[in-house]
A and B are shown apart, each in its own frame.
Chain A
Amino acid sequence: MSRFLKESHAMSDIQATALFHRAAGTVTRLPGHVVDASVQLGAGRARRRRLVHLAEAAAVAAVVASAATLGVSSLGDRGASTVGQASHDFGIDTDQMATALSAMLPAPASIEPGGDAVPGWLEQVFNQVEFPALISSGEARLTSVTYRSGTDQANVAVVVERLSTATLEPVRHHFCDATPTSACTETGLGSLIVLAATGSVGTQPGLVTLLTEDGWLVQAATTDTMVVPSATLVQIAVDKAWLA
């Protein structure tokens, strides 16, 4: 039994502090140059992630026809909050930002409201998607949108559900910890978090889930994963969450 475990039978704050300090003294030093170099690489990676988020934000702005979206979007993390800041970070002049963003976006596409009527295909999509057993407040809305890109056209089903605050953490856990295919990402769009994005794998319907910290669960799903990019599903879901 170590000295710590003997002490721990009656560990006070002071003893805990002493223990931590003793133990910390045995940690091998990390060579400074390792982190110094990797920070540079990491910064590059972070910029690329944020550029994708910026592109998503721009697309959302177009979808909801709200210029204000970009202004309040925290692009990728809670640090850069304006286009000007992003311009500085990415080394792109502000007046060139639109061009740079356009290059990041998928091919020209349009997303049109499909109304609140529930067509048969929508029900079919949701029957194929495995949803977790959620404790819902009972406030839910099922809608659809039509995605068009060139000659391609696809339907996307969207469910917007209000959760009680108490159910957020179990839902988050379900997607982030218990679902092996989940890709949890903080979008930086307000309090939105991308919890799960699957699709383009076999015949599995594409599914994007967003969980906002104020309790909205938004899921966008399609069976046409060869037509609708995952990023577009994200945009649609964000759009709906934005309007929720």
Chain B
Amino acid sequence: MPDDVEGFRRFAAARLPALYRSAVFLCGDPHAAEDLVQESLTKVYLVWGTRRIDDPLAYTRTTMMRTFLSLRRRRSASEYPVDVLPDETVADPDVAERLDLQRVLAQLSPLDRAIVVLRYLEDQSVDDVALAVNRTPGNVRVRASRALGRMRGLLVDEPFPEREPCHE
């Protein structure tokens, strides 16, 4: 049990909204996003106070990205979210825009999705993104550029395939 449980709770409460937002764009559905945030915070919780963490938010962000990528890699049939993004009509144009964005993101590879979310949602530098996803800065630049190009090419009149599940 971490010595500074209260400190962790304060940190988690303050950063939860941003972490959850990123997780929603990574996973594509709110339930998988909750699971991802939970697992990531659990990992941080286990080391909280037992080692020096200079930047807890960056540490948590990196933990979440690597957890996301790891979960995608070792996905199994044990748990399979059945709700797919509905092709629904939404009155709020901003919400509709987010759903469009989520559908487009779902067609990127998990790694490219992580890079795009870090780079453009969390405003991380290329170097920081590279650190979080364990790639070189050059590779991140190329992938981010290609991902944007891919997103650019995804038009609304193309049918969107079903998403792959975020969690194992």
Contacts and interface: CB of A to CB of B under 8 A. Distances in A.
Nearest to B24: A27
Q: Which of the listed residues B12, B16, B123 has the most CB atoms from chain A within 10 Å of its own CB?
A: B16
B146 interface: no
A11 B149 CA distance: 8
Given A16-B120, A39-B38, A39-B42, A26 B95 contact: yes
Given A1-B156, A16-B120, A23 B75 contact: no
B73 A4 contact: no
A239 interface: no
A98 B101 CA distance: 53
B121 interface: yes
Contact of B34 (A5, A35, A85): A35
Interface range, B side? 35 or more
B92 interface: yes
B76 A183 contact: yes
Contact of B16 (A32, A47, A193): A32
Interface in A77-92: 77, 79-80, 85, 88-89, 91
A32 B41 CA distance: 12
Interface in A1-44: 1-5, 8-11, 13, 16-17, 19-30, 32, 34-36, 38-39, 42-43
Interface in A181-226: 181-186, 193
A24 B94 CA distance: 9
B130 to A, nearest CB: 16
Contacts of A27: 20-21, 24, 98
Interface of A: 1-5, 8-11, 13, 16-17, 19-30, 32, 34-36, 38-39, 42-43, 45-47, 77, 79-80, 85, 88-89, 91, 172, 176-177, 180-186, 193
Contacts of B116: 16
Contacts of A32: 12-13, 16
Q: Binding site of A, secondary structure by majority: helix, strand, loop or mixed?
A: helix
Given A10-B152, A30-B16, A34-B34, A39 B73 contact: no
B74 interface: yes
27 contacts: A1-B156, A5-B156, A8-B152, A16-B119, A16-B120, A16-B151, A17-B120, A19-B101, A20-B117, A21-B121, A22-B94, A24-B25, A25-B94, A30-B20, A30-B30, A32-B13, A35-B34, A38-B42, A39-B42, A45-B42, A46-B46, A79-B46, A79-B47, A80-B46, A88-B50, A186-B70, A193-B74
B77 A180 contact: yes
B11 to A, nearest CB: 11
B100 A85 contact: no
Contacts of B156: 1-2, 5
Contact of A36 (B9, B17, B168): B9
Given A36-B12, A85-B50, A4 B24 contact: no
A29 B94 CA distance: 16
B37 A35 contact: yes
Contact of A20 (B9, B25, B42): B25
Nearest to B78: A183
B155 interface: yes
Contact of A79 (B43, B73, B95, B123): B43
B93 interface: yes
A30 B12 contact: no
A4 B34 contact: no
B91 interface: no
A43 B42 contact: yes
B30 A35 contact: no
Contact of A4 (B42, B76, B100, B157): B100
Given A20-B121, A30-B20, A38 B74 contact: no
B25 A176 contact: no
Q: Top 6 nearest A-B pairs by Cβ distance?
A: A184-B74, A42-B42, A23-B98, A20-B121, A30-B20, A16-B120
